[in-house]
């Protein structure tokens, strides 16, 4: 008997995306450029995070028409975003047949206390995290893939670096702990005990971990890969730059060849203007997307 | 001392780490292959699951794919899983993407459907004794048509999902995602045959 929507099948698709770049796109034309550049997946959106930030107001799930058009245009997997806690938006995305749902802090949260029960869906979920406890809570709710939150729409990699370093340091710390300390560690991180035990034993998350939130250059992508992530999300960084096709391709190659400085030097040449960046301190704490999620 | 076998795993994108882990369990030295130069000195090559368009884009550059084709034509065994099956195939349904074109097969991409239709199942392999193989299919392809030199090793609900053509092996499923080592051992036996 065939078994669909098993944990293996859900986490398995994320395993296949590793070493690749997932790009935010808002039109079928952009999706085609991403696929041509070698993206392993696209995130179908109505607006990229930089524009969501600029527009203000409430950001919601994209119009299904946009998502369907993008699904028809490319053969690579298509992801789409639902608001935190908005389980009906998630059901709609599942009905559309998207390949992954991002329960995302880039959109305005629909619930200020609870995330979606992601175990009850056939489509797998990816969620953002700033630290190990948050990552393990999301996995406990059924997320089959994790990404750092970073600070979306800024073109500033500092928050993604901070979140990746935090997760990695907390993983390393668990691996050196005697067993009797793990329950207290779980309590302090507010993380499920069984997942804390898994991380302590294996020295890694039980799912794939990508970097996201502020990646704008090939060097940024390689930096995140060297810090230990499995792959890259690029949001505004590509289609807010002056030459999206060229930059997209360079970021893809930098993600594969992240340990080859000669190659990275070549890839960084003549890319045109990167997206305009934002200093994190210039964003009021209440406007920081990374603070969303519980 | 017997020299250890060295197998290359194409590491452009996809589940190359899982293939590496499985091969290491079988006592094989693994070389990650990111460029043409890394192909030197390997006795076999695995093309992992991932996105076939993303992997193909980089094989197209700098004679990378051409070198693999040349090695395979000289008898070096190559095993493709999922995206690897697509990249080995001569013809791909509704796509003009890059492929190595080594196997006389006509494949269909995402043939079982999108992620929502991905599944795992127990499948029998022709000529194998023992229990069926637990196989994981993720947005998997299958073979629509196979040429006369292609041996069909397994079918699932009437679809061809595991094939061999001389030194070339291809599966629509992901043996690197399960603990069953038999498929990788089968490939290593092919590597041994072509060493002699």
All structural domains of chain B: 6-193 (3.40.50.880)
What number of helices (H) and strands (E) belong to chain A?
13, 9
> A146 with A135: CB under 8 angstroms?
yes
Distance from CA of A114 to the nearest CA of B (A): 25
- Average pLDDT on A231-251 reads 96
Query: Partners of A21 in the beta sheet?
Result: A232
Across chain A, which distance is largest between two alpha carbons, in Å?
Answer: 56
Q: What is the pLDDT, as a whole number, of residue A25?
A: 97
Whether B53 sits inside 8 A of A35 (CB atoms) is: yes
Q: How does strand B119-123 pair with strand A3-4? A: antiparallel
Is residue B136 scored above 80 in pLDDT?
yes
Q: What is the pLDDT, as a whole number, of residue A1?
A: 76
Q: Distance (Å, rounded) from C-alpha B40 to C-alpha B151?
A: 29
Q: What is the pLDDT, as a whole number, of residue B2?
A: 60
E strand residue ranges, chain A: 3-4, 21-25, 41-44, 78-83, 100-104, 125-129, 145-148, 208-210, 232-234
> A231 with A255: CB under 8 angstroms?
yes
Tokens found for residue A66? 């946009």
Q: Distance (Å, rounded) from C-alpha A99 to C-alpha A117?
A: 17
Q: Which of B18, B82, B129, B155 is catalytic?
A: B82
DSSP character for A12?
H
Q: What is the pLDDT, as a whole number, of residue A154?
A: 95
Q: A44 and chain B: CB distance < 8 Å anywhere?
A: no
Is residue B1 scored above 60 in pLDDT?
no
Q: How does strand B44-47 pair with strand B6-10? A: parallel
Contacts of range A51-56, beta carbons closer than 8 Å, 24 or more positions apart: A51/A153, A51/A236, A52/A106, A52/A107, A52/A153, A53/A152, A53/A153, A53/A287, A53/A289
DSSP character for B40?
T
Distance from CA of B193 to the nearest CA of A (A): 30
Q: How many CB atoms lie within 10 A of CB B4?
A: 10
Tokens found for residue A146? 């994790």
Closest CA to A35 of A241, A215, A249, A267: A249
Summarize pLDDT for A141-166 with one digit per residue, the tens: 999 999 999 999 999 999 999 999 99
Is residue A91 classed as helix, strand or coil in its secondary structure?
helix
Higher pLDDT, A286 or A266: A266
Whether A76 sits inside 8 A of B118 (CB atoms) is: no
> B173 with B137: CB under 8 angstroms?
yes
The ipTM is 0.96
- Average pLDDT on B68-83 reads 98
Is residue B3 scored above 90 in pLDDT?
no
Summarize pLDDT for B82-134 with one digit per residue, the tens: 999 999 999 999 999 999 999 999 999 999 999 999 999 999 999 999 999 99
Suggest the residue from A2, A37, A90 to mutate for an interface test with chain B (most B CBs closer than 10 A).
A2
How many residues in total does chain A contain? 294
Distance from CA of A218 to the nearest CA of B (A): 16
Tell me if residue B120 is catalytic: no
Whether B121 sits inside 8 A of A3 (CB atoms) is: yes
**In sequence order, what are the residues at sequence separation of 6 or more whose Cβ sits closer than 8 angstroms to the Cβ of residue A101?**
A79, A80, A81, A82, A90, A93, A94, A118, A121, A123, A124, A125, A126
pTM confidence score: 0.97
Is residue A219 scored above 70 in pLDDT?
yes
- Average pLDDT on B59-88 reads 97
Average per-residue pLDDT in chain B? 96
Summarize pLDDT for A4-29 with one digit per residue, the tens: 999 999 999 999 999 999 999 999 99
Q: A102 and chain B: CB distance < 8 Å anywhere?
A: no
Tokens found for residue A148? 């750092």
Whether B12 sits inside 8 A of A97 (CB atoms) is: no
Give Cα separations from A246 to A38, A47, A260, A282, B62 (angstroms).
Answer: 11, 21, 19, 30, 18
Average per-residue pLDDT in chain A? 97
Summarize pLDDT for A80-138 with one digit per residue, the tens: 999 999 999 999 999 999 999 999 999 999 999 999 999 999 999 999 999 999 999 99
Tell me if residue B176 is catalytic: yes
Q: A31 and chain B: CB distance < 8 Å anywhere?
A: no
Q: What is the pLDDT, as a whole number, of residue A174?
A: 98
Q: A144 and chain B: CB distance < 8 Å anywhere?
A: no
Q: Which residue of B has its CA nearest to A71?
A: B114
Q: What is the pLDDT, as a whole number, of residue A61?
A: 96
- Average pLDDT on B12-19 reads 97
Summarize pLDDT for A38-71 with one digit per residue, the tens: 999 999 999 999 999 999 999 999 999 999 999 9
Q: What is the pLDDT, as a whole number, of residue B4?
A: 82
Whether B17 sits inside 8 A of A18 (CB atoms) is: yes
Tokens found for residue B28? 């094989």
Q: Distance (Å, rounded) from C-alpha B125 to C-alpha B185?
A: 14
- % chain B with pLDDT above 90: 96
Tokens found for residue B95? 């796509």
CB < 8 Å from B in window 108-137 of A: 122-124
Q: Which residue of A has its CA nearest to B84?
A: A16
């Amino acid at each position: 008997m065939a078994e669909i929507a098993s944990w293996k099948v859900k986490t398995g698709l994320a395993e296949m995306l590793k070493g690749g770049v997932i790009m935010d796109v808002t039109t079928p034309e952009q999706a085609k450029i991403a696929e041509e550049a070698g993206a392993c997946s696209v995130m179908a959106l109505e607006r990229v995070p930089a524009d969501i930030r600029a527009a203000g107001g409430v950001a919601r799930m994209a119009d299904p028409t946009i998502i369907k058009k993008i699904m028809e245009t490319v053969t690579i997997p298509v992801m789409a975003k639902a608001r935190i806690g908005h389980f009906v938006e998630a059901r709609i995305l599942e009905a559309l047949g998207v390949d992954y749902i991002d329960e995302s802090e880039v959109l305005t949260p629909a619930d200020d206390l609870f995330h979606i029960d992601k175990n009850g869906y056939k489509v797998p979920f990816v969620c953002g995290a700033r630290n190990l406890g948050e990552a393990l809570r999301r996995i406990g709710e059924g997320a089959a893939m994790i990404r750092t939150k970073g600070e979306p729409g800024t073109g500033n990699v500092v928050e993604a670096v901070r979140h990746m370093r935090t997760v990695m340091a907390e993983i390393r710390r668990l691996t050196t702990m005697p067993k009797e300390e793990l329950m207290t560690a779980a309590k302090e991180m507010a993380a499920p005990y069984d997942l804390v035990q898994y991380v302590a034993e294996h020295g890694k998350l039980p799912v794939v971990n990508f970097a996201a939130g502020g990646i704008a250059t090939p060097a940024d992508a390689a930096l995140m890969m060297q810090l230990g992530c499995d792959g890259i999300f690029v949001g505004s960084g590509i289609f807010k730059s002056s030459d999206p096709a060229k930059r997209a391709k360079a970021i893809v190659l930098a993600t594969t060849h992240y340990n080859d400085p000669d190659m990275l030097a070549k890839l960084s040449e003549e890319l045109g203007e990167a997206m305009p960046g934002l200093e994190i301190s210039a964003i009021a704490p209440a406007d920081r997307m990374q603070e969303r999620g519980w | 001392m017997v020299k250890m076998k060295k197998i290359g795993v194409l590491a452009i994108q996809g589940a190359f780490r899982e293939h590496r882990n499985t091969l290491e369990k079988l006592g094989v030295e693994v070389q990650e292959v990111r460029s043409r130069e890394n192909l030197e000195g390997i006795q076999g090559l695995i093309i992992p699951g991932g996105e076939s368009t993303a992997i193909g884009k980089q094989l197209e550059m700098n004679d990378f794919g051409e070198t693999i084709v040349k090695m395979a034509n000289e008898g070096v065994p190559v095993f493709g899983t999922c995206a690897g099956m697509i990249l080995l195939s001569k013809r791909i349904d509704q796509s003009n993407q890059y492929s190595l074109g080594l196997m006389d097969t006509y494949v269909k991409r995402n043939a079982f459907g999108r992620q929502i239709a991905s599944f795992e199942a127990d499948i029998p392999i022709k000529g194998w004794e023992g229990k069926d193989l637990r196989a994981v299919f993720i947005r998997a392809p299958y073979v629509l048509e196979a040429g006369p030199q292609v041996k069909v090793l397994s079918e699932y609900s009437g679809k061809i999902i595991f094939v061999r053509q001389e030194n070339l092996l291809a599966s629509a499923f992901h043996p690197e995602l399960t603990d069953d080592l038999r498929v990788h051992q089968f490939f290593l036996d092919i590597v041994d045959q072509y060493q002699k």
